[in-house]
A and B are shown apart, each in its own frame.
Chain A
Amino acid sequence: MKSLDPRVNRLPQITGEKNKEPLDQFGTYEVFVQPKEGKPFQHEGALHAPNLEMAYVLAKEAFTRRFTCSSVFVVNTCDVFTSPTTDGNENVYDQIDEVKDGSGKIEYEIYQLLKRGKQHLHAGTVVAGTPAGALAKAKSLFRSDKIVYNVWAIEKNKIRFTTNEEKDLWHTLPEKKFRDASDYKGGDKLKLFLEKKDDLKTWHEQRSTKGITFQNGR
């Protein structure tokens, strides 16, 4: 098959095609972004990757190639312990029970959903022995008048954070406005094109009233 795209025509021929095994796909990783130094991290989405480090590498471009940020981290979806999500105006902390989890000393990052349809936001760090214990700790520390619809507890040492020296990864991003659709100024380009088209039309009309015809008009 010939394509109009020369790159496609140059692609190597695929030989020995085989069917993919069912469920043969990468696991998912959750991506969190800190929009600015001092602001809380927020959940941005998920991606597929073969391992945590690859997830970090791919997340950096998939999630932060346009809007500048100060830091990114990723964690295996399996390492995010989630509470139930509540209905209506029910506060999820009402559904979280006290847990006796002894003297565990694992650090957990707590993320809360404060608005339906929005991202989970970092609330703080707690120390507990189990994820359920971490949610109970979160209840005692972060419960306020604000309704929380869902809470996550993420074991801190399972997270691939951005290191201090990696903070320069986004150093030149503010100069890459050309990646934003708005920078392309499609509206202005269309207006210019239409104006030119009108000029061309008037020009054609004037030429044709003078009885000149085109054989290969543009």
Chain B
Amino acid sequence: MNNEALKELLFKMADDLLILGHRNSEWTGLGPLLEEDIAFSSMAQDKIGQSHALYQMLQTLGEQEPDAIAFTRTANQFHNCQLVELPNGEYDFSLIRHFLFDTADALRWQMLTQSADEPLAQLAQKIRGELRYHTLHANTWIKQLGTATNESISRLQTSLEYALPYALGIFEESPYENDIVSSGIFGGEQELKTKWIQKINEIISQTQLQLPALTALSPVYGGRTGKHTEHLQPLLNEMSEVFRIDSSAEW
């Protein structure tokens, strides 16, 4: 089996989860409802926990320890898709991103429960309840606001159209795509994307939102190979501020 192929998969998954976990945690204390503030913060914590587990797996494959991986790389060394690094904007965008990303994430992990890589398959089993909650939360909000008022529907529609090209960037293929599929580690981005389109269609069709023709959109690629928007480096600076002052600090 090709270690580099597995590492590439782990890195992009872990970086997606760390960066989105950090972005979503920026809502802590500022959420639109007390209960939602708590729920969104908990899920951000889950994502960072999941990224930590993946960084630990990378460490067993010879990479640095999780804190060093998370806090000492610069933007061009990150493999997350650009969707997750975009600023939070207003809550409609954060919810749409949560819905689009978490749907793909839950499906990815569901595929990974069958992975030939034992630790990855075990982790996928372990966190299935967290993922179930994340998608339940996202779907319920989208169905609620996607049918509520003219304002909520048009806000979600605008955010959906803005986010979709970035969301398609989740499925940017790896140079090791064939290895990763043939070795049974992961079913591949194409299969994931097909499942994802089906799932988001299923939810969107229960609302008054319109899903644009996805084939007419140009996916925003580059994130998986370290090409990022101007928003990622400031996020990393903020996230690693304490670590850079005192790498042994506990807080």
Q: Which residues of A does B touch, CB under 8 Å?
A: 6-8, 10-12, 47-51, 53-54, 57-62, 65, 165-166, 168-172, 176, 179, 189
Residues of A near B133 (CB, < 8 A) are 60-61, 169
Query: Do A11 and B35 contact each other (CB < 8 Å), given the known contacts A172-B126, A172-B127, A172-B129?
Result: no
Query: Do A62 and B39 contact each other (CB < 8 Å), given the known contacts A6-B238, A57-B140?
Result: yes
Contact between chains at A57 and B132 (CB < 8 Å): no
A215 to chain B, nearest CB (A): 21
B137 interface neighbour in A11, A51, A57, A171, Cβ under 8 Å = A57
B90 interface neighbour in A12, A49, A51, A165, Cβ under 8 Å = A12
Q: Which residues of B does A touch, CB under 8 Å?
A: 26, 30, 33-36, 38-39, 42-43, 45-46, 49, 87-90, 126-130, 132-133, 136-137, 140-141, 144, 148, 238, 250
Q: Which residue of B lies closest to A192 (CB)?
A: B250
* Total inter-chain residue pairs, C-beta < 8 Å: 72
Q: A62-B34, A168-B129, A171-B129 are in contact. List 18 more A-B contacts (CB 8 A).
A: A6-B238, A10-B88, A12-B89, A47-B35, A48-B33, A50-B148, A53-B140, A54-B144, A61-B39, A61-B42, A62-B35, A62-B39, A65-B42, A165-B132, A169-B129, A172-B46, A176-B45, A189-B250
Query: Do A172 and B130 contact each other (CB < 8 Å), given the known contacts A50-B144, A51-B144, A189-B250?
Result: yes
6 residue pairs from A and B, CB less than 8 Å apart: A48-B33, A49-B35, A59-B35, A65-B38, A165-B132, A171-B130
Q: Which residue of A lies closest to B128 (CB)?
A: A168
Residues of B near A176 (CB, < 8 A) are 45, 49
Contact between chains at A7 and B26 (CB < 8 Å): yes
Residues of A near B42 (CB, < 8 A) are 61, 65
Query: Do A48 and B87 contact each other (CB < 8 Å), given the known contacts A166-B132, A169-B129?
Result: no
B87 interface neighbour in A10, A47, A168, Cβ under 8 Å = A10
Q: Which residue of B lies closest to A47 (CB)?
A: B35
Contact between chains at A61 and B35 (CB < 8 Å): yes
Distance in angstroms between the alpha carbons of A112 and B214 in the assembled complex: 55
Residues of B near A54 (CB, < 8 A) are 140-141, 144
Distance in angstroms between the alpha carbons of A65 and B36 in the assembled complex: 13
Distance in angstroms between the alpha carbons of A53 and B126 in the assembled complex: 25
B150 to chain A, nearest CB (A): 15
Residues of B near A170 (CB, < 8 A) are 129
Distance in angstroms between the alpha carbons of A58 and B88 in the assembled complex: 21
Residues of A near B30 (CB, < 8 A) are 7-8, 11
B231 to chain A, nearest CB (A): 11
Query: Do A57 and B136 contact each other (CB < 8 Å), given the known contacts A51-B144, A62-B39, A65-B42?
Result: yes
Contact between chains at B39 and A58 (CB < 8 Å): yes
Residues of B near A166 (CB, < 8 A) are 132, 136
Contact between chains at A169 and B132 (CB < 8 Å): yes
Distance in angstroms between the alpha carbons of A164 and B29 in the assembled complex: 33
A67 to chain B, nearest CB (A): 14
Distance in angstroms between the alpha carbons of A172 and B52 in the assembled complex: 14
Q: Which residue of B lies closest to A55 (CB)?
A: B35
Residues of B near A168 (CB, < 8 A) are 128-129, 132
Residues of A near B127 (CB, < 8 A) are 171-172
Q: Which residue of B lies closest to A185 (CB)?
A: B250
Distance in angstroms between the alpha carbons of A170 and B46 in the assembled complex: 12
Residues of B near A50 (CB, < 8 A) are 144, 148
Residues of B near A47 (CB, < 8 A) are 35
